[in-house]
Structure formats: structure tokens, C-alpha cells
Structure 1
């Protein structure tokens, strides 16, 4: 009977062990399934960056569980994607991870190769130095002093970059080197630093386990037990059950080594009940097997068979309730689907490359045709712009003869009245104005300062001619930069001319001409006001010739505005308002354009 129960128990234990090959806890397994699901979704959505990120996550999780070969499989998938994306920094990151895994597998030639590739791909100076140090370190794996120097430099670089997990990993590497050199105190110090630096529970547990091993090996069994007890309690408090059970198992071994059988059995029994409570097949099997083996060796077959019978009775429900087993099944199914998706994508890529070759000639022809159309389009656009510029220049020149004629007519009046001083004064101002006008004749826009000077000269000339008819003022918004603000050339002058000649000229008493240039949000406004006789009264007293000329002058100005808007998209607009609605006297013209 005892032999039968033993065989049954061992068979069940073997089944549980096969079913529970994953060494991580439930949350980590779910994390792997989650990463794999995200990778599957990213492949379907043709999102290579996300696919590579999830493969990297899977590689990290397997590396944390020390399944380095499986980890490298996922890292290699991520690396292939980053190669296609030509992302050198990500390639360097993955190459370094593969190198570290190969070093852990003691495959030094491969580790050397990957550290070298990572160094070549890295664009960051610190990353290049890290990989250079590790490359030199693995190449000098028989020189402990040089290895220590490279590890020390890596710790400095990683601490400056605030990469806590890699710092902790390097402390563990240095501890391993110290142990090889029989420097136990240095190894203990580095393992403590690793546990303190890292926020990863697996790293903390691994450091604690190594510390306990060192203390036990140096006859400090009580210290080893204390470290494992503290680590086990922390794992229990944060519900990190896989690490908790692992630590409890190691702790029971040290209790037995200390000949504290009571504590050892109590630790195993407590852990067994917790594993039953969590339906954790792996650890139920492990603790049951240790208790069964202990009582069997102690000659207490009744107690040993009791553990075997309980396990057999609860095995079916245990397996059914163990969600980790289901996670393993789901993980396998998703892995198969991903393999099919990747093969399908590979087939599509081959077909795409074939069709691409067939379409190359067509693409070239279309490109040539497109470039020809584009060239024609831009040529026509340039011609249209040139035509508009010629048209604008023609319109501007059309304004100049009238301006010159009026000015010379004024000089003629002064000469006819024998007023030589006034004529000389007028000619001096006129020469200055004409010089400014000629200098700006080929410009579509002038600075506010240039426009202000031109307007002052022009109004001064008209003021000399109609001395007793009006006074004037020009006001510029102080928020406008005189040398940076642009004004359409010769656009304000015709409106000012109209205000003087057709509004103020016929006013019985002395009139006022006001010119205000101001900023209004993102536009510039020029406001020209006169308190003359008004538009309607002016029309009534004009001759047919004057009306015809005025119509042409307004038409010219409107055409210039339309041409400027087409050419420069400056949104020039103007409107005319009556100042005094009671008798329709006075006129306000508001011209605005984009700043």
C-alpha cells in the first residue's frame, strides 16, 4: 500500500511539474499573455513599433525568470523589426540585452559579438561607452582587476543616467566577480546595494537568496535565515506568491541544516496550505513532495501516506482551479496564431516585392508625367505672378503722370502770381517728394517710415497750394515699428488727394485733414478723415471732365487693390463713411491690410 501511494504521488507530482513549467507567479504569466495579446493585435493592425515593444516586454519577462534562450527568441524578433524600421537606438538596446543573456548563458563568443554590434549601433555617447566597457570586460574575463574597473565605470555611467535596474544588475555582476576572487565582504556589500537599488521583486529575491547562500557557506547560518525570513515576509505582504514560496522552500532547507526541524516543518506546512488556498499546483506539488519525502525518510509512513492521499484527493480540483494552467494554454494558442500571422505577413511581403518590380516602370512614367505637370504648373504660376507684377507697376505708373501734372500746375500758379519764394519752396519740396517716389517706384510695399515721409511731403505741397483751405496732422500708432511695418506703395495718396481736392478745397472755412495709421489685432488700418463738403456735394459741383478723371482714379486704385490681393494675399479692404449724417458733410476712408 505504501509503495502504491508513493508511486501515485510521484506521478501526480510529475504531472503538476510538467503543467507548471513557468517559474513566474500568476500576475507575471498574465503579463506575458497580455504582452502576447498586444503583439497579436499590433501585427493585425500592421503596427511594427508596438509589435517590437511587446516582443521586448516578453524578452524582459523571460530574462527576469532566467529563461535566457526563450528571452533571446523574443529579443531577436524585436531586433528584426527595428532593423526594418532603421531605428539604431532601439537596435543597440536590444543587441545589448541579447549580449547580457548570452553572457548569463556563458556563451562568451556570442556575448562579445552582440556587445560589439550594440556599441556600433548606439548613437548616445554613454550607451556606446557602456557597451565598450562590457565588450572589453568579457574579452578580459581572466583579468579580475580589469573586469572590476569596467564594472565600476558602468555603475558610474548608469547612476548618472538614473537607470536603477541596470545599476542593480551591475552590482550583482560585481558581487559575482568578488565571490570568484574570494572577497566575501565585497560580494555581500554589492548584493545589499543591488537589493536596495532595484524596485524589481525578482531582483530583490535573487539578491537575498545569494546573500543567504554566502552567509550559509561562511557558517553564518543564522544571518542567512534572518535574510530569507525578512525577504519572505516582504513577499507575503505584497502578495508576491511565487517569490514567497521559493523563499520559504529555501528557508526550510536552512532550518533543516540548522537542525531546527520544527521550524522547517512548520514553514513547509504553512506554505503548503497557502498554496492549496491559491490553487497553485506547482507549489502544492513542491511542498507536498518535501513533506512526503521527509516523513518517509523518518520512517513515519502513515504521515507520509496522509500527505499523498490528501494530494490525490484534491489534485483534480486543484488542477481545474489553477488559472495559471489555463494561462499556459492561452499563451500557446496565441503563440500559434502569431506564428501564422507572421508567416502570412511574410508571404504578403514576397508578393508585394514581386508586384513592386512590375510596377516600377509604371511608377517611373507616372513620376515623369507628374514632374512635367508640376513644372508646367509652376511655370504658369510664375508667369501669372509676373503678369500681375507688370500690371501693378503699370497701374502705379498711371498714377504718376496725374500727380506730376497737378504738381507742375501748382508751380505754374505760383509763377503766374510772381510768388518766386513760394515757387522755389514748392519746387524744393516737390523734388524731394519725386526723389522718394522714384526710389520706391519698383516696390510694391514700402516701410511705414518711408510712407510717412512721402505723405508728409505730399500733404505739405498741397498745403502750400491751398494754404488757407486746411490744416493737417499725421498720427502713427506707437505700437507700430516704423522700419518693420509694411505699407502698400502709393495706396494712401489717392485717397488723401480726393480728401483735399474734392472735400476740403471747396470748404468755405478752414478745414482739417487727419491721417491715422494704427494696429487693429492682426491688421494695419489707415484712417483718412476730412471735414470737407462731403461726397454728394462734391459731385454736384464737378465738371464732366473732373467726374471722368475721378472715376478713372478710383478704378485705378480698386484695380491696384485687387492685384495686390491676388499677388500677396494681403486682404486689402477699404470703405468710405460720412462723418456728419445731418448734412452729409465730411468723409472718412478706412483702408486696412494684413500685418
Structure 2
């Protein structure tokens, strides 16, 4: 509904009229969902926060309208944007760019509103009023393309009401504007629409030259309307009873439909060709195309097409003197039509008639046989009854046994179903339990991280650069919101993980002088937008490296973080390496403190790994030794994602 409308129109001949609705819906109802629901919420917040009436406000509303696909919601947004644009256009002080920019935005808003009124609610009076308003604004900035589009929209509304002479006036105006602008694509479009309208006005001789010119321009510019133009030419030649030419153009339409794999277009082309061949008395060829239309319609189960194909075949079989086939096709068509109204009742009646006819024929055959062999049958009657009784007893016993087996199988299936449901409930409960534990653990890590980060900022306020501290306080606020957001998720992208680590390390960098540096790398096997990782696993390890490895070290300090995948891409390998004092010295410093402290970060990471994958994920520490001295620590975290 929110796409630009393209005026389409076909002949009222029963076969051709089937094309109008699919083409109109295809061109008018295509809307692409560009972003997620979360991005809609972000846009709504931005609109609420941005109270100024300006270009940015207009663009935000326009983005939200394109994102929203709910037909009950986006028109309300459209009206809000319309109010803003009218205010800005009326007050030059509010205009931040050229007045034409706001008029073009308003033109699109009015077109959306008109199409919604016309196609969603059938309010043609409102639609035509809005379309004339579009024309007024288009003329105010002398925009040829907008003026042409306004005329086309007005004509489309008139055609929808079968007011073809009124539509003709505005299509002719559109053609004048299109030729003046020298836009070949617009000229081709308007010429095609004019040709269609002449067909509806039963003036095909006027339609043909216009459609040929349209086709030439469309083929030159490789436009998609070629299929519609070929079909309209077929209609025009059919109305003039030039059936050979009509078939030629229908076949061109068929060829394009086949290239585009447009099944509905293929069926309609088959029927159009069959119709023209029939009126040209080429019944054999016509039957071939009608049968192809029937087969394809039945394949995709499109009842209206199946019914149309049967009707065509009925007519063709009658004309080609095949009464039985004509009768069969007519019966099939009748059955199909009645099945749409009352499928079950009709099916039951037909079955009863079929059964009655069969029984009647069987009775006649038996009567004839009995007359010939009455003596023989009489002598064997008792023997026959015996066999019949035995056979009936056998059949009853077999039926009873089969029913017993069915009952037994049903009970077994019910038992298995109950067991399966119980198992699923147990697994679901366990899954919810693990998720609850993970959420609880991450909720504990959030204040832990916030406390440590605030300590760093506090040191800057007390002993360092307060301007830098104020700047980092803003970064801390952003990072805190990000941490709180990702802690609710089970997995985040590698790009988000790297962003969080970078912001965190920038905060930690305030603790040190200029001798602290860090490096975050991803190998070629890691796609930062595709691959994902559980949140809040790596940051505690980095925090440990800084707090216990680098804080007590003099000289250059560096933390290196590397993300890699194994060959099977089932395990993410994260390495955190520092050039700190090593675990042994860090432990000694820790024990010398009067207050003992157990590393919450390490403990939280280990518990998270156990809850996620158990033994499949591991955490391993290695001391880096050089010349007998500890020169740092390497922590290797392996996370199974299989």
C-alpha cells in the first residue's frame, strides 16, 4: 500500500480481466520490512525526545512509516508527518532546507494516504480529493515527474470506478507532461495505461499504436511492464478479430512469464492463447493450450483458474465435435463450481449417484446371467450360501482382529505421547532453571563491574585529570547501559563483545599512566557479525589480568586479547595474555593483605561455563616463564558452541 502505484487496466473479457487484480496487488502491496522491532522502538524514542519541528523530525517519522507494516498503525504515523510538514511549509522560519524538499515529502505522504483510503477502505471520494491535493503541490514546484504521477493516480481511481472517459482525460495530460520531460520510462508507462483504457473503451484501433510505441520504449529500457504491454496488445488485436496477431502477442507475454517463473501469468497466457485460437477456429491448437492451463492450475490448486480452464475446454470440445469430452469437461466444471458453494454435500450426492449407477448395472448383468443359468444356480445355491457364510465369518473375524490391533496401537501411541510430553516438560523445566541461574549470576556481575569501573573514575576525580574523568564518566554511562542490555541475552555478536571490551579497557586505562596498552584481535576464522558468544565471560578475565597482574607491575603494561575458532568451528578459543607479575607474585601480595578476597570475576566465569556446557567448555591458566622468571600470565577460555 505504501509503494508508488502503477496504473493498470485490462479488458472486461472474462479471461483477460483475471489479470487486473494480481498485477495491481503486486505493484501496490509490496512493502519491505527493513529493520527489527527493536529499531522501531529506538525510532519512537528518538521522535519523542526530539521535540523541534525540523528536517530531522520529518526524516525520523518517514523512517518509522517505512518500517511499520501494520495497516492499522502506519496511517496514524503518516498523518503525524503530514501535520508537521504542513506547519513547516506554512512557516518559512522552520525550513532548514529548500521548500521543494518539504513539498516532495508531503507529496509522498498524501499519496500513501490516498492509496490507503482507496485500497484499504474503498473510499474513492477521499482518495480523489487527496490526489488533486497532490497535483496542486506538484504544480507549485513545477515538478514534471510528480505532476505525471498525480495524473496517473487520479486516472487509476476513475478506472477503479469504471469511469473510463474521465480517466482518459488525465492519462492524456500525463502523456503531455511525460513527453515534455523526455523520460522514456514514464512515457512507456503512460502509453501502456492509455492503451489499456482504450481497450476498456472498446476502441482497440486507437490502443494499438500507443501500445506499440510503449513496447518499443519498454524493451529499450528493459522495463518490467513489457509483459503487461504484450498482453494489452493481444487484447486489442483480439477485439479487432485479428486473432493471429493476438496470439503472437499473447505468446510473447507467455515467454516473459516463463522467464520470470510467474505461474499465474503463464496460466492466463495459456487461456488467452486458447481463447484467440478458438475464435480463429484452430480448435486442436487451442485445446493443447487449454489443457496445459488446466494441468498447471491443478498443480498449484488455483480453483478459479481450474474452473476457467474447464469452461474453455468445454467450449473447445463442443466446437471440435467431441461431445463426450465436452460433457466430461462441463461436468467437471459444474462439480468444481458447486464444490466451492457446498463441497461436502455435492461430493456426497455425486458419490451416491455413482454408486447407484454401478449397482444398477451390476443388477442387470446378474439378471441376464441368472436367466441363462437358473437351473445350475439353483442346484448350487446351498453350497454358495455355505461359502458365503464362511467368507462372512472370516471377514468379520479379520475386521475384529484389525480393530483390536488398531485399538492396541492407539493405546501404545497415547502412552508414548504422554511419556514424550513429560520428557519435554522436564527438559523445559531444566532449561528454565539453567537460564534463571545464568540471569542471577549475570545480575551479580553487573554491580561487581560497575563498582570496579567507578573506582577507576573516582581515582581520576581525586588524583587525576577531572576533565578526563568527566569524559570517561559519560563513556561509563554508555558502557553500563550496554552491559545491562547484553546481560539479559543468552548470546551476543563478536562485534558487540569487542565493543564492550574496548570501552571497558579505555576506562581501566585511567588507572595507569601512558605505559598501559591493549590489543584485541580476531582471526580470519571469526566473523564478528555472524559468530556469537555468551555475554560477560571474557571481561572478568581481562579484569583479573589488570587487577592482579598489571596493577603491581612497573614499566610498560599490556593486555592482549585474541579470539579464534577451531577447524570445525564448534569451539570458540579466547586467549587473554598479560605481561604482569605472574600468578605466584600476585598470590603472595594477596595473602599479605590483611583482608582476604576471593576473585568474584573468576568464580563467576567458571560457574557460567558449568551452566552453559558443563565439561565441554574449559578455563585454563598458564604462567609465562622467561629465564626462570615469570613474565606474565595466559588465560585460555574454550567455549563449546556445538
The two structures share one fold, judged by TM-score above 0.5: no
TM-score by length of 1: 0.40
TM-score by length of 2: 0.37
Q: Which has the larger radius of gyration?
A: 1
Higher relative contact order (CA 8 A, sep 6+): 1
